[in-house]
Amino acid sequence: MAYKKPESALVVLYDEHHRVLLLQRMDDASFWQSVTGALEEGELPIETAYREVFEETGIDAKSLGLRINNHHKQNKYIIRKRWQRRYPPGTEHNIEHVFSLKVSSDTPISLTEHLQYEWVSKEEALQRLWSPSNREAVSLFVPNAS
């Protein structure tokens, strides 16, 4: 098995109504998250962000002329014990680069790596997201509803 690089991109998607797209993990149905994924060898974080949005939602942001916002924010967090086996032995921390993307709620979503998705209010997202860094990103980078 090839190990994952302990560096990832987190992309918070939100729509014109300031609702946040939540994705339910296949390997833990209680775990809701935004788009996220590890950097591949030689890949820049922004490239990972575009790739992961496409892989996890089917949204080809570049083709649609959508710009992913790089917030130039990095989080360092402890990798969940149950997932540490995916990383090189002794790896306990991950570095996460934070991005956001505004998309129309009419944009079709095609899941490949998650059980289901939901568009929810910012407040509900903050309650349901498992990861503290994901909650912080939603809090900081998703506009409040008018």
d(CA 51, CA 62): 10
Is 55 within any annotated ligand binding site? no
51 in a known ligand binding site: no
- What residues contact 74, with CB distance under 8 A and at least 6 apart? 95, 96, 97, 98
CA distance 142 to 57: 19
Residue 7, marked binder: no
Is 63 annotated as contributing to ligand binding? Answer: no
Integer Cα distance of 31 and 25 in angstroms: 6
56 is in an annotated binding site: yes
- The CA distance from 24 to 113, in Å, is 9
Distances in whole angstroms, Cα of residue 28 to Cα of each of 114, 115, 129, 131, 142: 10, 10, 13, 13, 25
Q: Is 48 annotated as a binding residue?
A: no
Q: Where are the alpha helices (DSSP H) in the chain?
A: 45-57, 122-128, 132-141
Q: Do the annotations mark residue 57 as ligand-binding?
A: no
User: Residues within the annotated binding site for Mg(2+)?
Assistant: 52, 56, 113
User: Residues within the annotated binding site for substrate?
Assistant: 4, 25, 36, 131
User: Residues within the annotated binding site?
Assistant: 4, 25, 36, 52, 56, 113, 131
